[in-house]
Each structure stands twice: as structure tokens, then as C-alpha cells.
Amino acid sequence: MSPSIRFRHEAEPHPHLVVEQLAAPDAYAALTFPDDLVAPDAPWGITPGDPAYADVLRDPGWRALHDELRGERFVGSVLAAFADDMRAAGCLVDAERARLTDFEESRADKERAVLDAAADPDEVFTRLDFQSKGFGAYREFVHLDWARRIVGGILFFSDADEEGLEGGELALYRDREYGDDRWCHDPELTAQFAPRHNTGVIFLNSNRGFHGPRGIRRLAGRRRWLYFTISSRVDVWPALPRAA
């Protein structure tokens, strides 16, 4: 595990890591989230390749956290924490053999269901987006991420109480009519995590890893978070065709 990041593994309701501390408290307190650089209509907030991304990383504090989250040590610690779960769920990536590459998904790539069907599953890459949204900016949606995502993560940079936020939790679900087809037919809420400073959740994006934001009932300020993922260019979760 990286020096400043603390997390614990939870097996239920499906494998996830509860991030108890993302950055050292003094380092976290020194960070100012770049709300003014997040375009209201940008589907991925500030993402690698955007001019604003480079602007954010000129701040030494953001650069340090960015490099830690996207570095070999942290990526290795996350994959090691999920290694048994990945094997049990049939993931094509071997956590012990995974190699971090410098591949960057473009905005066009992010919309593609498949990047490269012939790629080596053990060649992995990261993505880190800056997201900041106000009331009414997104809807409740139970889903899985693209099948190339090994893990996904929501790393909070706001506090529900401070922002007057009701709802907006990151929620985990199980499918009561599970079909192993990467589609949630009958979702049941099983866990939820309200935004709290310097915390987060990283979830295994297996065929059972259903998740999504809860609907927002009230929000006076902003819901701020980093979206983090470790992915392969090839789909890593074999699945059945979608059931009717």
C-alpha cells in the first residue's frame, strides 16, 4: 500500500476497498478542488488529455497525489488486495503478472465498448478524472463499467453535511435475477457510502460488481470526487450474452 493511502478490503456485498485515508491530512487540507475548471456539460469532468488537466497538475500537491494514485506501487497494492477475488471471478488479468503501461484513453476511447480485442490482458493502465457537479447534474443509474475495467473507484473530495447533500451516496447492489451477463435485471441495494472528506471506495468491476450513485434529493454546494480506474485494453470479464 502507498505510504499515505490507507484502505481495508471488504468481501461483502461484493469485493471492494474502503479507502480510510486518501492523503495525509495536512496534504489533503492544502488541496483546492478545481471546480472552476470542470465544464458543466463535460461528461468526464477533467480527464487526461484536456488542457485543464495539465493546469491542475501544475499544483505540486495535486501532482503528488496524481502520481501516487497512478503509480506502480499503489496500482500493485490494489491488484494484490483483489488478487483472490479476481481469480474467483474469472478475471483474465493475473494480479501478480500485471504490468503498468503509460497508455492513455482519449475521450473518444472512453466511449468505445472495446479498445483492442487482441491486447495482452496483463498490460494495464490507469485513468483519473476530476469530477465536480451540483444539484440535478446526474441521475441514479445501477451499472457496471466497461468490461476492460478491472476496478473502478470513487474518491471523495467533499462532505455531504458541509455541502447540504441528501442522497448522492455511492451505492453497491446485488442482482436478484443475476444472469452473469453484466446487466442488473433486478437490483437490490446492499451498501452505500456518503461523501466524506479524504475517503473513498474502490470496487472490483466483476460481473457482480453493480454500483452507482444514489439520486440526489438536495444539494446546496458541490459533490466532488476523483474517478479512478485500473483497466486493460482488452475486455477482462468473460460474460454470457445478455439475457432477455
Compute the distance between CA of residue 172 and CA of residue 187 in angstroms, rounded to an integer.
9
Q: The domain at 10-33+44-232 falls in which architecture?
A: Sandwich (2.60)
- Bridging pattern class, strands 123-133 and 170-175: unpaired
The answer to whether 187 touches 208, Cβ cutoff 8 Å, is no
Work out the percent of the chain whose per-residue pLDDT is above 70. Answer: 97
Answer whether the bond into residue 40 is a cis peptide, omega within 30°. Answer: no
139: left (phi over 0), alpha (psi -120 to 50) or beta: beta
Q: What is the mean pLDDT of residues 81-110?
A: 97
- Bridging pattern class, strands 211-213 and 170-175: antiparallel
Per-residue CA distances from 94 to 75, 80, 100, 120, 134 (Å): 13, 10, 12, 11, 39
> Per-residue DSSP letters for 168-224?
--EEEEEETT--SSS--SSEEEEEEE---TT-EEEEE-STT--EEEPPEEE-SS-EE
pLDDT for residue 137 is more than 80: no
Q: What is the mean pLDDT of residues 99-117?
A: 94
Residue 86, SS3? helix
Instruction: Give pLDDT tens digits for 147-162.
Output: 999 999 999 999 999 9
Work out the percent of the chain whose per-residue pLDDT is above 90. Answer: 91
| pLDDT level of residue 2 (50, 70, 90 thresholds) | low
Give the pLDDT confidence score for residue 135 in this predicted structure.
Answer: 81
Compute the distance between CA of residue 241 and CA of residue 226 in angstroms, rounded to an integer.
32
Rg (CA), the chain: 17
pLDDT for residue 1 is more than 60: no
Q: What is the mean pLDDT of residues 187-191?
A: 98
| pLDDT level of residue 140 (50, 70, 90 thresholds) | confident
Give the helix, strand, coil percentages of the chain, each rounded to 5.
Answer: 20, 30, 55
Residue with cell 462532505: 159
Give the pLDDT confidence score for residue 3 in this predicted structure.
Answer: 67
The answer to whether 211 touches 172, Cβ cutoff 8 Å, is yes
The answer to whether 115 touches 148, Cβ cutoff 8 Å, is yes
pLDDT for residue 138 is more than 90: no
Give the pLDDT confidence score for residue 184 in this predicted structure.
Answer: 97
Give the pLDDT confidence score for residue 42 in this predicted structure.
Answer: 74
Lowest mean pLDDT among 2-11, 69-78, 116-125, 160-169: 2-11
Residue with cell 478545481: 34
- Mean of the per-residue pLDDT values for the chain? 95
Instruction: Give pLDDT tens digits for 30-40.
Output: 999 999 999 87
For the chain, domain boundaries: 10-33+44-232
Q: Which three cell numbers stand for residue 219?
A: 444539494
Q: What is the DSSP letter of 115?
A: S
Considering only residues 98 and 243, tell me which one the structure prediction assigns the higher pLDDT.
Answer: 98
Instruction: Give pLDDT tens digits for 95-105.
Output: 999 999 999 99
Q: What is the mean pLDDT of residues 218-224?
A: 95
